[in-house]
Amino acid sequence: MESDAQLETRHNADGELESVISMLERVQARYNYLPEEALRKVAAETGRSMVDIYGVATFYRAFSLKPRGKHLVSVCLGTACHVRGGPIIAEEFERQLGIRRGETTADKEFTLETVNCLGACALGPIVTVDGHYFSHVSTGRVKKILQQAREGLDVVEVKADERVFPVEVSCPHCNHSLMDERHLVDGRPSIRVTISFGKKHGWLCLSSLYGSYNVESEYPIPDNIVAHFFCPHCHGELLGTTDCPECGAPMVRMMIRGGGMVQICSRRGCKGHILDI
């Protein structure tokens, strides 16, 4: 961890400091492990003892005090996966990577760990790599899975990945379509809205792919800014029904063609959203 790195803290709607766990989660997400210095900063920020922070950091499996590799391979050794050959899969991963479970490869590419259940027992043996599930894994597939991980699993394939799909939305007030055929984001017609923040007022084009967070806008929007979203046709504010479940900022509501509603967080950088079909 660089010494000048700032530990950003967030406050909830009541102005209370966020919990230790969510702070540690962000440090873990950023550095892939919890550096000692970060733990000290969290302790200082929350006014708690170092022992408390260290206790939390060592209690949860999601946190690691040792640097983890770029890709995290979790092999399930729960009861169902165990009887279906989970241990053989784990051994095959150990052989292919040349490390033991719990260790990280020398090139910091892979960390191998075993978990007790991934909650998909019927599909065992289960392996997850960076949050992607692989079911009915056989020893022959291990090499392919590692190859796939090296190439990158997060490359969005619209057709193959069911988590990403295009939506067409309209204004909840005037029911006018918000789709902009001329302005393409992610190679598809974008969702055009008007936003205002501070004294700036301009257009914003959101990707129409559900699961993609790409946007283009007239003015650059600083991180963490909470903007107001308006319909470009009736100029009514697209105010959501609730606050963001992730950060507490107001939500932005849009109707989905074919029925349903999607709400996104109005805070730049927050990925909070609610889909209601």
Partner 1 sequence: MINLKINGLDVSVEEGTTILEAARFIGFPIPTLCHNDGLSPYGACRLCLVEIGEPPRSKLVTSCTYPVEEGLIVRTDTERVIRTRKMVIELLLASSPMSKTIQDLASKYDVHQQRFKQEFEECIMCGLCTRMCEEQMMAKAIGFRGRGQNRSIGTPFDITSEECRRCGACMYICPICMARCQGPQEESPLCNACLNLSPPCVETYGQKMCYMDPCVACELAGPYRKDKQRKEKEESAPVAR
Q: Which amino acid is at 111?
A: T
Looking at the Cβ atoms of 36 and 276, the one nearer to partner 1 is 36
Which DSSP symbol is given to 4? Answer: T
Considering only residues 31, 54, 133, 210, which one is a binding residue for partner 1 as defined by CB under 8 A? 54
Closest approach of partner 1 to the CB of residue 68, in Å: 17
- Told to check if 51 binds partner 1 by CB under 8 A, we report yes
Considering only residues 13, 44, 50, 174, which one is a binding residue for partner 1 as defined by CB under 8 A? 50
Yes or no: say if 54 and 35 are a contact pair by the CB < 8 Å rule: no
- Told to check if 24 binds partner 1 by CB under 8 A, we report no
Q: How many CA atoms lie within 13 A of 95 on its CB side?
A: 10
Looking at the Cβ atoms of 102 and 260, the one nearer to partner 1 is 102
Calculate the alpha carbon distances from 232 to 22, 118, 172, 229, 251 in Å. Answer: 37, 45, 12, 9, 18
Number of H helices, E strands in the chain: 6, 16
CA-based torsion, 143, 141, 95, 130: positive or negative: positive
Encoded one letter per residue, x for contact with partner 1 by CB under 8 A and - for no contact, window 58-77 reads xx------------------
Long-range contacts of 92-99, Cβ-Cβ distance < 8 Å, separation of 24 or more: 92/139, 92/142, 93/127, 93/142, 93/146, 96/142, 96/143, 96/146, 97/73, 97/146
Considering only residues 22, 49, 214, 241, which one is a binding residue for partner 1 as defined by CB under 8 A? 49
- Told to check if 39 binds partner 1 by CB under 8 A, we report yes
Looking at the Cβ atoms of 55 and 269, the one nearer to partner 1 is 55
- Told to check if 52 binds partner 1 by CB under 8 A, we report yes
Looking at the Cβ atoms of 53 and 118, the one nearer to partner 1 is 53
Considering only residues 8, 11, 13, 36, which one is a binding residue for partner 1 as defined by CB under 8 A? 36
Q: Interface with partner 1 by CB under 8 A: which range of 52-60, 82-90, 186-194, 240-248?
A: 52-60
Q: Interface with partner 1 by CB under 8 A: which range of 45-53, 205-213, 222-230, 262-270?
A: 45-53
DSSP H or E segment with residue 37 = helix 36-46
Q: Which amino acid is at 199?
A: K
Task: State the residues that interact with partner 1 by CB under 8 A.
Answer: 36, 39, 49-55, 58-59
